[in-house]
Chains A and B, each alone.
Chain A
C-alpha cells in the first residue's frame, strides 16, 4: 500500500514536469522557443520568453503568418544537453514549424541534430559557439554573432588596452564558455600576449575562494572569464573580498542586470563584449517602448528572440509556405526587416549583423565603454 502511494507521487511529479501537448488546429501555426526557463540561468530564459511572446502577439495582431495564427510552445532545457534533446523531440511531436532557440550553445548544438532530422527550421537567438553553424545542417541559423568573432575582437581590445598586464584566462568547461575563452586566448597570443594562468572551474558552485587566492598569488591584473554571469559575478565578488583588484573581462553572458545583483559594487568597471545594443536601433524604438510599458527592460537576448521570430514569419510569407526546404531557401537568399534593421544570412546560416563592442558596468548599469 505504502509502495503504491510513492509510485503515484512520482507519477504526479512526472506529469507536472513534462506537461501535456496541445493539438494545433488548421488555422494555427505552432512555433517553439526553448531555453533555460529554470535553473541558474533562468534569467536568460525569461529574456527569450518575453521576446518571443511579444513577437508572436505583434505578428498575430498584424494578421499572423500565411493567414494562420501563431501559437507559441515553450520548452525548458535548463541549459543541459540531455534535457535539450528531450525538449527538441517533444517540440517535434508537437509539430512546430520553427524553433527560436536554444539559448546555451551546449544545448543548441545537440538539439540542432533533432531539428535537422525532423526538418524544422532553427534560428538560435543567442548561441555563439561556432560549431552550431559548422555542422553542415542547412536548417540551422542564428541571429547573434559567433565566438570566433567575439574572441578575436576581445583579444585585440585587450591587447590594445591592457598591454603588458598579467592575464588569466578562465572558463567553465561548457561549449560556450570554453569556446569563447579559447578563441580569446588565441587572439591574445596572436597579439603577443601570453597569459600567466589558464584554468577551468565548475559551473554551479558557489565557492571560488581557492581560485581567487590562486589568482592573487600569481599577481593577476586582468581576468578573462569565458562563462556565465553567475560564476563571473561570484568570482569578482570573492576577489574583492580578498582584496584582489584585478580587472574582470567577459563575454555576452554578462548582459543582464542579474550580474549586478550578484556583485553589487564589486562589479564596478567590469568589461564585457556584446553586439551593439539593439534596443538603441530606431527600428526597435516602438517595441522597446511597449516592453517598458510592461515594466520590463528588454535586455540582452530579448530582442534577438523577437528578431528570430520576425525573420521566420517574413521568410514563410515570402516562401508562401512553411515547408522547411522552401523557407530555408528564402532565408539564405533574401534579407529581412527586423528590430535590428535589415539582416540576411550567409551560406553557413550566420547572420550579417554587426560584430561586437565592449560594454562597461558602472553604478549598476552597463553601457558602451569609453576605452
Chain B
C-alpha cells in the first residue's frame, strides 16, 4: 500500500509535466487542426531559460527561493511565449490556407531549427542545476516502506492544478476563450463575424508556449539536468498524452498526461522498467482501437 502510494506520487508528478506540455499540442490542434511538432523544442527552450535565469539570479544575489522561483517562472514564460509567437508567425501563418502537409513539414523544420539554434548557442553538453528546492517530508511511515513527498513535487502538482483551473476559466469565460472556441468550430464563420482570427491563433500559441515554459522550469528544478535534445522525447510523450486524452480537448490532454505518467510509474514499479514504454504505447493503441478520438475527444469528420 505504501509502495503503491509512492508510485502514485511518482506517476502523478511525471504526468503533470506531460500534461502541461500536452495542452500546447491539443490547443493548437483544436484551433487550426495541425500538430505543432516544434512544441517539444519550445519546452526545451523554457528549461534552458530557467537554468540561465537561476544562475543569473544567483549571481545577482537573489537567494530567497520563493522570489527566485516566481521571477524565473515569469521570465521563462514571457520569453518562451515570445518564441511560441515567433514560431507561429514565421513558420505557420504564411502557410495558412495551403495544404495541411505543408504546415506539418514546416513544423518539423522549425523543430530542427530550434534544436540546432540551442545547440550552437548553448553548446552540446549538459546543463545542470544544483538542487534549489530541496527537502520534503515523509507522508506515510509504513514498517516496510517510507513514502516521501518532496517540496518540488508539491510545487509541480499545485502549479499544474492552478494553471489548469486558470486555463479552463479563460477558455470558458473570457472574450479570448470565446473567440478561441469560435475559431475551433468554424474559422471562416468566426472571421465573418469580426473575430480577429490571426490574433486568436497567435495567442493560442503564446498560451501553449507559456505552459510549456512552466513544464521546462519544473523539469530543470526537479531533475536538474537539461540538454538541447530533451524536447524530442518529452514532445513525443506529451503528444502521445494529447492523443490518448483526445486531441483538441483541454481536460483530455491533462487526463492523458496523468494516465501516461501513472502507467509508466506503475509498470516500472510492478513489472519491468525495461518495458514501460511498450506498456504506455500499448495502452495508446488499445484506446485508439476502441475510442479512435481518444478518451475525451469529440468525433470529427474532416480533420486529418
Query: Judging by beta carbons under 8 Å apart, are A262 and B128 in contact?
Result: yes
Contact A13 B13 (CB under 8 A): no
A39 touches B124 (CB 8 A): yes
> Is B146 located at the chain interface by the 8 A CB criterion?
yes
- The 3 A-B residue pairs whose C-beta atoms are closest, nearest first, are A210-B268, A42-B124, A38-B124
B287 proximal to A (CB < 8 A): no
- Once A209-B14, A241-B150 are accepted as A-B contacts, the answer to whether A13 and B113 lie under 8 Å apart by CB is yes
Tell me the bound Cα distance from A16 to B126 in angstroms: 22
Interface size on B (CB < 8 Å)?
51
Q: Assuming the A-B contacts A9-B109, A37-B124, are A206 and B273 also in contact, with contact meaning beta carbons closer than 8 angstroms in the complex?
A: no
Contacting residue for A3 out of B102, B145, B276, CB 8 A? B102
Please name 7 further chain A to chain B contacts, defined as beta carbons within 8 Å, in addition to the given A13-B113, A210-B276, A261-B126, sorted by A numbering. A42-B124, A42-B125, A200-B274, A210-B7, A210-B268, A213-B10, A258-B125
Complex CA distance for A258 and B224, rounded to whole angstroms: 12
Taking CB atoms, residues of chain A closer than 8 Å to B10 are: 207, 209-210, 213
Q: Annotate A211-246 by CB proximity to B: 1 below 8 A, 0 otherwise.
A: 101101100000000000010011001100111000
A207 in contact with B223 (CB, 8 Å): yes
Q: How far is the CB of A259 from chain B (nearest CB, A)?
A: 10
A to B CB contacts below 8 Å, 27 in the list: A10-B109, A16-B116, A38-B228, A39-B229, A40-B126, A42-B124, A45-B124, A199-B274, A202-B274, A202-B277, A209-B10, A210-B7, A210-B264, A210-B268, A210-B276, A211-B268, A213-B3, A213-B7, A214-B268, A217-B3, A217-B144, A233-B225, A237-B131, A238-B223, A258-B128, A261-B126, A262-B128
Given contacts A9-B109, A217-B145, contact A173 B126 (CB under 8 A): no
Q: A262 and B225: CB pair below 8 A?
A: yes
A17 to B123, CA, bound (A): 15
Q: Mark A33-51, 1 if CB is under 8 A from B, else 0.
A: 0000111101101100000
Instruction: Judge whether A206 and B116 touch: CB under 8 Å.
Output: no
Given A210-B273, A261-B128, verify A40-B227 contact (CB < 8 Å).
yes
Assess the B148–A262 pair: CB atoms within 8 A: no
Q: At the interface, yes or no: B112 with Cβ under 8 Å from chain A?
A: yes
Chain B residues within an 8 Å CB radius of A243: 146, 148
What separation, in Å, do the CA atoms of A204 and B231 have in the docked complex? 11
Most chain A CB neighbours (cut-off 10 Å) among B3, B125, B230: B125
Cβ contact within 8 Å between A2 and B102: yes
Give the CA-CA distance A207 to B7 in the complex, in Å: 12
**A6 in complex: contacting residue of B105, B223, B274, CB < 8 Å:** B105
**Is residue A201 contacting chain B, with contact meaning CB distance below 8 A?**
yes
Residue numbers of B with Cβ under 8 A of A are 3, 6-7, 10-11, 13-14, 94-95, 98, 102, 105-106, 109, 112-113, 116, 119, 123-126, 128, 130-131, 134, 136, 144-146, 148, 150, 219, 223-225, 227-230, 233, 264-266, 268-269, 272-274, 276-277
Residue on B nearest A170 in the bound complex, by CB = B273
Given contacts A13-B112, A173-B274, A243-B148, contact A204 B265 (CB under 8 A): no
- Measured between beta carbons, the chain B residues less than 8 angstroms from A117 are none
Q: Closest residue of chain B to A209, judged by CB?
A: B10
Which B residues touch A262, using CB under 8 A?
A: 126, 128, 224-225
From A205, A234, A242, give the contact of B233 (CB < 8 A).
A205
A206–B276 alpha-carbon span in the complex (Å) = 14
Number of interface residues of A (CB under 8 A): 44
- Whether, in the assembled complex, A264 has its beta carbon less than 8 Å from a beta carbon of chain B, the answer is yes
Question: Secondary structure of the B side of the interface?
Answer: helix
Q: Give the distance in Å from the alpha carbon of A140 to the alpha carbon of B52 in the complex.
A: 43
Complex CA–CA separation, A38 to B29 (angstroms): 32
Residues on the B chain within 8 Å of A261, using CB: 126, 128
Partner of A242, one of B113, B119, B148, B273: B148
Alpha-carbon separation in the docked complex, A262 to B51 (Å): 13
Report A-chain residues with C-beta under 8 Å of the C-beta of B116. Answer: 13, 16-17
Q: Which of A211, A214, A258 has the most CB of B within 10 A?
A: A214
* A200, B228: Cα distance in complex, Å: 25
Interface centre among B130, B224, B276 (most CB of A within 10 A): B224
- Give Cα A2 to B109, complex, Å: 13
Cα of A40 to Cα of B227 in the assembled complex, Å:
7
Give the shortest distance, in Å, between A237 (CB) and chain B (any CB). 7
Do A209 and B128 touch across chains, with their CB atoms under 8 A apart? no
The answer for the CA separation of A239 and B29 in the assembled complex, in Å, is 38
Residue contact A43 to B225, C-beta cutoff 8 Å: no
What is the CB-to-nearest-CB distance from A266 to chain B, in angstroms, rounded to a whole number?
Answer: 8
A6 and B109 contacting across the interface, CB-CB below 8 Å: yes
- Give the docked Cα–Cα distance between A46 and B112 (Å): 23
Interchain nearest-CB distance for A310 vs B (Å): 27
The minimal Cβ–Cβ distance linking B96 to chain A, given in whole angstroms, is 10
CB-defined contacts of A2 to chain B, threshold 8 Å: 94-95, 98, 102
Check A43 against B268 for contact (C-beta < 8 Å). Answer: no
Query: In the complex, which residues of chain A have a beta carbon less than 8 angstroms from the beta carbon of B124?
Result: 37-39, 42, 45
Quick one: which of A38, A210, A214, A234 contacts B225, CB cutoff 8 A? A234
